[in-house]
């Protein structure tokens, strides 16, 4: 990525800064953004060009806040944190209508009632035997889908509330 045109930069930190520059002209330049972030211009360039393997978490939080881009935090957790890599976390904001429809689908009363019944059947005796494990796995997969939809709404909500 290093020698390519800045217009072709596909780095998430660069894209987030450029999108935020539409609302804060100090972010158009790396110099202005670096000053607001409390880092040197060369350090910010390293973040934006991918020369820094792992951007310090406190700087990711600052960028996410300054750029109104919570996706940076979620992406950091999903791609950099060893624990977060295993969790069902959305990393980008999608359209609110789609998120709302997914949430309505995932939290359908009949679907939740089915999960509740299955969970009661599985756990009633306090033991999860081999024949119950596939049903438990299916419940966990459904919960993961719910968690992703919830985190998508959180991203969209954070952005909307900060505007």
DSSP one-letter code for 153 = H
Which residue range forms the structural domain that includes residue 151? Answer: 96-162
- In tens, the pLDDT along 40-80 reads 999 999 999 999 989 999 999 999 999 999 999 999 999 99
- In tens, the pLDDT along 85-99 reads 999 999 987 888 999
Residue 103 and residue 158 in one domain: yes
Residue 101 and residue 60 in one domain: no
3-state DSSP assignment of residue 70: coil
For residue 13, what is the enclosing H or E element?
helix 12-20
**For the chain, percent helix, then strand, then coil, each to nearest 5?**
65, 0, 35
Locate tokens 């020698």: which residue?
3
Kindly state whether residue 87 falls inside one of the protein's structural domains.
no
Structure tokens at 55: 């951007």
Longest distance between any two alpha carbons in the chain, whole Å: 63
pLDDT confidence band for 1 (50 / 70 / 90): very low
Distance in angstroms (rounded) separating the CA atoms of residues 70 and 61: 8
DSSP one-letter code for 52 = S
Residue 11 and residue 51 in one domain: yes
Model confidence, pTM? 0.80
Structure tokens at 87: 């969790």
């Amino acid at each position: 990525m290093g020698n390519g045109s800045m217009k072709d930069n596909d780095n998430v930190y660069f894209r987030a800064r450029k999108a935020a520059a539409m609302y804060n002209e100090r972010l158009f330049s790396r110099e202005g953004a670096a000053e607001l972030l409390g880092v040197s211009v060369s350090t910010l360039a390293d973040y934006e060009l991918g020369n820094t393997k792992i951007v310090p978490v406190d700087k990711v939080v600052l960028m996410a806040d300054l750029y109104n881009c919570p996706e940076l935090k979620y992406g950091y957790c999903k791609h950099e944190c060893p624990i977060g890599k295993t969790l069902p976390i959305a990393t980008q904001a999608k359209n609110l209508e789609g998120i709302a429809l997914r949430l309505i689908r995932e939290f359908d009363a009949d679907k939740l009632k089915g999960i509740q019944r299955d969970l009661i059947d599985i756990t009633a005796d306090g033991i999860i035997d081999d024949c119950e494990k596939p049903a438990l796995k299916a419940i966990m997969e459904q919960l993961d889908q719910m968690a992703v939809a919830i985190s998508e709404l959180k991203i969209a909500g954070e952005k909307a509330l900060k505007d």
